Every structure is written in structure tokens, then in C-alpha cells.
């Protein structure tokens, strides 16, 4: 079985590979602020099973849970049952952000974390993970990155035939 998961899982995956490969993670929290998509309602209306289903994303910040943290645990066994998270659907059209906060076995410092991310961005994850110390705002474009990962998956499958 192959799955390209979701745009959020794809944005989280590079860090959830690099961090546990270099630091012992006890637990982690992934928080996503996600742009409006076609799934939630765009206007306030009747509710389904959950009270927040009746709120439109164009006017509200809507909390929800989803499986990106669980998916990361399946793909990276060292993280199984160590990650949790939630998403906030926010009234913006095309940008989202993921925050990963980890509780580690041993303390590390910011420079250690930057160093391993920088090395990974020049090594095996160079096509998925970027690193810069320029004054930028980091983000992922919800559908563009996901679409690129679908193409990468198709090329990978085609190369195995």
C-alpha cells in the first residue's frame, strides 16, 4: 500500500525524521494553523456531529484533531505513540504553518538543533527540507507542496516497475 498522506503530514515529515534521528524524543506536540480548504464549511451553518462543524472557516478559528501525528508515528516507528497534535483552521486562503515542539530525554541547545537540520537539508533530505538563517517567514503552501509530493511518489513508483 502506498499513501501520500496529507499536506500537513508532508510538511511535518522532514522534521519528524531529522529530530528523532539525532535526539531522543520522549514526546512531541504538533500544532498546525491551516488555511481554508474545501472540507470545512466556508460559512456558518448547521452542525454535524461536532459543534465546531457548524462554524465557517472564513469567520472563525476552528480547532480540530486529525491523524498527521499518528501517520508520522506509523512512518517513523521511533515516534509511535509519542506525537500528538491538533489543527486550527484559520481564515486565510493559501498559507499554513506547522509547529513541532518536542520533549527530549537529554537537553539540547538551539544551535545543536539548527546544525542537524542544516546538515539534513544538504544531505538526504535536500529536496524536501530547506535551511536558511536569512530573516524570512517560513511557511508551506498547502496544495503546491502536496502536489509536488504526489508527482515525486508517481516517479518513485514508475522507477520501480
12: phi then psi, degrees, rounded to nearest 5: -85, -30
52 is catalytic: no
Residue 10 near residue 145 (C-beta atoms within 8 A): yes
Options 5, 7, 8, 83, the catalytic residue: 7
Please report, for residues 40, 53, 58, 86, the alpha-carbon distance to residue 99 in angstroms, rounded to integers and kept in the order given: 22, 24, 22, 10
Residue 34 near residue 89 (C-beta atoms within 8 A): yes
Residue 55 near residue 106 (C-beta atoms within 8 A): no
List residues with catalytic annotation: 7
Amino acid at each position: 500500500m502506498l499513501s501520500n498522506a496529507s499536506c500537513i503530514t508532508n510538511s511535518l515529515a522532514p522534521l519528524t525524521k531529522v529530530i528523532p534521528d539525532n535526539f531522543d524524543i520522549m514526546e512531541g506536540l504538533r500544532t498546525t494553523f491551516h488555511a481554508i480548504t474545501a472540507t470545512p464549511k466556508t460559512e456558518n451553518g448547521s452542525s454535524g456531529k461536532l459543534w465546531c462543524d457548524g462554524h465557517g472557516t472564513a469567520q472563525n478559528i476552528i480547532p480540530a484533531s486529525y491523524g498527521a501525528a499518528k501517520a508520522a508515528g506509523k512512518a517513523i516507528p521511533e515516534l509511535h505513540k509519542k506525537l500528538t497534535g491538533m489543527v486550527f483552521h484559520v481564515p486565510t486562503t493559501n498559507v499554513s504553518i506547522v509547529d513541532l515542539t518536542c520533549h527530549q530525554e537529554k537537553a539540547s541547545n538551539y544551535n545543536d538543533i539548527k546544525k542537524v537540520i542544516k546538515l539534513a537539508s544538504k544531505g538526504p533530505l535536500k529536496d524536501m527540507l530547506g535551511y536558511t538563517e536569512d530573516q524570512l517567514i517560513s511557511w508551506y503552501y498547502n496544495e503546491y507542496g502536496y502536489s509536488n509530493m504526489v508527482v515525486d511518489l508517481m516517479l518513485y513508483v514508475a522507477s520501480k516497475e
